[in-house]
Chains A and B, each alone.
Chain A
Amino acid sequence: MLYREAGQFKSTYAQDQQIFPIRQDRIAIALLLVFAFVAVPLIGDQYWLSALITPFLIFALAALGLNILTGYAGQLSLGTAAFMAVGAFMTYNFVLRLPWLGIIPSMILAGLCAAAVGIVFGLPSLRIKGFYLAVATLACQFFVLWALQRFPWFTNHSSSGVITAQQIVIFGVAFDTPAEKYLFTLAVVVVMALLAKNLMRSETGRAFMAVRDMDVAASVVGIPMMQTKLLAFAISSFYCGVAGALHAFCYLGTVEPEAYTLDLSFRILFMIIIGGVGSILGSFLGAAFITLFPIFLNIASGWLSHALGVEFSHAAVSNLELIIFGGLIIFFLIAEPNGLARLWQITKEKLRLWPFPH
Chain B
Amino acid sequence: MPIEVIFFFEVLVGGLLAGVMYALVALGFVLIYKASGVFNFAQGAMVFFAALTFVSLTERGWNFWLALVITLAVMVVLGLVTERVVLRPLVNQPQITLFMATIGLTFVLEGLSQLIWGSQPHGLELGIPDIPMEWLSQKWNINISQFDLFAAFVAGLLVAVLAVFFQKTRIGRALRAVADDHQAALAVGIPLQHIWAIVWAVAGFVALVAGLMWGVRNGVQFALTFVALKALPVLLIGGFESIPGAIIGGLIIGATEKLAEVYVGPMFGGGIESWFAYVVALLFLLVRPEGLFGEKHIDRV
Residues of chain A touching chain B, judged by Cβ–Cβ distance below 8 Å, are 70, 76, 124, 127-132, 134-136, 138-139, 142-143, 145-146, 149-150, 214-217, 220, 262, 266, 269-270, 273, 277, 315-316, 319-323, 325-330, 333-334, 337
How many residue-residue contacts, CB under 8 A, span A and B? Answer: 138
Given contacts A270-B100, A319-B119, 19 further A-B contacts (CB under 8 A): A124-B286, A127-B285, A132-B291, A135-B232, A135-B278, A136-B282, A138-B232, A142-B275, A143-B278, A143-B279, A146-B272, A150-B271, A216-B300, A216-B301, A273-B100, A322-B108, A322-B110, A326-B105, A326-B106
In the complex, chain A residues whose CB is within 8 Å of the CB of B289: 127-129, 132
Given contacts A315-B119, A320-B111, A325-B107, contact A330 B101 (CB under 8 A): yes
Choose among B115, B281, B286 the residue that contacts A127 (Cβ–Cβ < 8 A). Answer: B286
Interface size, chain B (Cβ < 8 Å):
51
Query: B residues within 8 Å of A by Cβ?
Result: 39, 85-86, 89-90, 93-97, 99-101, 103-112, 114-115, 118-119, 229, 232-233, 235-236, 240, 268-269, 271-272, 274-275, 278-279, 281-282, 285-286, 289-291, 299-301
Q: Closest Cβ of chain A: how far from B272's Cβ, in Å?
A: 7
Our pick among A136, A323, A337 for the contact of B236 (Cβ within 8 Å) is A136
Assuming the contacts A220-B301, A329-B104, asked whether A273 and B97 have C-beta atoms less than 8 A apart, the reply is yes
Across the interface, do B111 and A326 meet the contact criterion of CB distance under 8 Å? yes
> Complex formed: what's the CA distance from A71 to B97 in Å?
12
Q: Is the CB of A326 within 8 A of B104?
A: yes
User: By the criterion CB–CB under 8 Å, are A320 and B115 in contact?
Assistant: yes
Q: Interface SS of chain A: helix, strand, loop or mixed?
A: helix
In the bound complex, do residue A329 and residue B269 qualify as a contact, i.e. CB atoms below 8 Å apart? no
B103 touches A143 (CB 8 A): no
| Closest Cβ–Cβ distance, residue A163 to chain B (whole Å) | 20
The 4 closest A-B pairs by CB, nearest first: A326-B107, A322-B111, A139-B278, A329-B104
A250 to chain B, nearest CB (A): 28
B108: which of A146, A216, A327 is its contact (CB, 8 Å)? A327
Chain B positions within 8 Å of A220 at CB level: 301
In Å, the complex CA distance between A129 and B295 comes to: 13
